[in-house]
Structure 1
């Protein structure tokens, strides 16, 4: 278990319980089960207490947890017959963006998402989920194909933002993000999106400009990271806790503002503690959102999507 900073007291208790059980395994005459069970109960109560009132900054930490399920995990668990499609037909293939044809509950779909990687080599390969222009152009190509063949599009968002490197800027990063966002608004098929971890800046908006947007309970979605915001406003990245509060980046705040349509409950302790449960909940949310859009024709879908974004922010402004 990878413990977050605010989980250190929990780590100590769970560690002591495991030490006792290890002692009992090495010495059969030692009976410590009653004490270990008491520690388990104490840890369970502490976990409930810790996650009952997570601050926005702590939610950021949970959303970035390295063991949180990534896009590739969801594709393996939620979709079947996934056929990856690569390249933007212009420059190269961006491994930060996954996409292709799949079946969702026996329904053909196009699935697209950002993947941060799960270990050192895959994180480097996938550039920590930060897409370059060719990644967004790959997404555009897949959305165009989905529209041509009348296939619903499901996007899974998990990125700190688009890659800000020199090469990406030279190849038109901002234009690629804008074109991807524009394509989201243009396609005449159902488009649903789930923020599964971190939704950062325009790099996330380029995938999340959807008819229906869901967020996992402890995911975050913001125009800028708390650290970046703090560096700009206070000239001090250590002010990230204050920035996280001000940005209103939690799923709960964004639902009040009308940005998010649905919040997907996470298992106690976050999606990383019970990955299968979290992925099943996301699957149910995707199914419900697609069902909500069933029967709408292309023009109605496009109009509903545009009207939604034109009206965004009008809810909860006085909150």
Structure 2
């Protein structure tokens, strides 16, 4: 394999740029040509493809977002759209493709794999919901963004003696809410993977008030419900007035942490190694700090698992 492509797709995540940088420089180091596909699968279909040099990825390791840009593409979900993408890849002489993104991006890479085009999936999403890896690129940075927000909101919650509800991202996964809640000292955490008991939560808050605790932080994962909906539900049970903060897209921005930069560099480089070895249809990841790769079709059949031991620990520490 002498010429490969790289694209980023779906929601942006801090660390995508270091991953792109690693793909480009690893490939060039080994004598390969690299082509950047701009605007994800939409750019693949339209042929927005340019050759990347060493300088093309200079000074991007510290930047959030993605310099290759990203876009949603309904057309690529069809066989016709996928064939257009493959035709563009062949027209540019691209023999293998590195796809950096989350669940939707992986489905695109899976579709190309099923049609015989070599693809490597690199997990880039703040949701941490890709099977076959302990952590996804962007999760650590988003986690720290949420923790900083919790710390600031807690100052106000203490000053005004109020209960604050903080809604965090994560799609259908509770990892971001769980890790942020545990490290931020939240009194209650709601995640999609474990059913909540509103009566139990209300009782805990009432007991806290009875012993003189006049403020608390509740973290709600967006996959459970909105922060506003939970606020209304809690008010019905306790008559306690709450304030809601929806952190929104600030969680996806910002300079990637050192952990995300290192993870992105390792995974991006490993993706190139697999293509050089003639292996396509793989998903790279990290498990117990060891790089791993799995069949991308098979790994997507497995459900993402949240660490419920951490969830139970958070409940024990928030008494």
**Structure with the largest fraction of helix:** 1
Task: Work out which structure has the larger RCO, using CA pairs closer than 8 Å and 6 or more positions apart in sequence.
Answer: 2
> TM (normalized to structure 1)?
0.34
